[in-house]
Amino acid sequence: MEYPAEFTLDQEVGGYVVTFPDVPEAITQGDTLEEATDMAEDALALALTFYVDRWERLPAASSADAGKRLVRVPSAAESKFRLYGALRSSGLGKADLMRLMKCPASRVDEILDANRPSNIDEIEMAFAAIGKKLTVPVREAA
């Protein structure tokens, strides 16, 4: 999951302000381009949790136009956001996943919460419970 972001040089205080056209709730800044990029990944993941909390569809990522850079959602959070999307597209909710996994609601909440660590095996079990399979692509580092 990668979203285009605008990195704007802040002339007054220095550093970069980062905004996301597709996820307006995500805004952050950093003193250097590297710091701004790290902060942008965290801000993006946090902003996407707002959609999950409200059980709304995650915004689709547009293509990166000139002047924009792609910012990726951290892998651990991405697996949870993809599980959330699969649940929604299947017409299922948290209660359905709880029933299918035979676990308490608190466990389902933890599995879907991108801010809380989960064992990858649990996330795979959640996908399997709704008839899906988690795959993890690997590519060359940029």
The string of pLDDT tens digits covering residues 102-112 is 999 999 999 99
Residue range of the domain that includes 122 = 75-129
CATH of the domain at 20: 3.30.160.250
| Residue 139 domain-assigned (yes or no) | no
Same domain, 114 and 64: no
| Residue 142 domain-assigned (yes or no) | no
Whether residue 138 has pLDDT greater than 90: no
Q: Six-digit token pair at 102? A: 């035979």
What string of H, E and C letters represents the secondary structure of 78-132? Answer: HHHHHHHHHHHHCCCCHHHHHHHHCCCHHHHHHHHCCCCCCCHHHHHHHHHHCCC
pTM beyond 0.85, yes or no: yes
| Residue 20 domain-assigned (yes or no) | yes
How many domains in the chain?
A: 2
With bands split at pLDDT 50, 70 and 90, how would you rate the model's confidence at 139?
A: confident
Same domain, 9 and 42: yes
Q: How many helices (H) and strands (E) does the chain have?
A: 5, 4
Question: What per-residue confidence (pLDDT) applies to 42?
Answer: 95
Quick count: other Cβ atoms within 10 Å of Cβ 25?
A: 14
| Residue 63 domain-assigned (yes or no) | yes
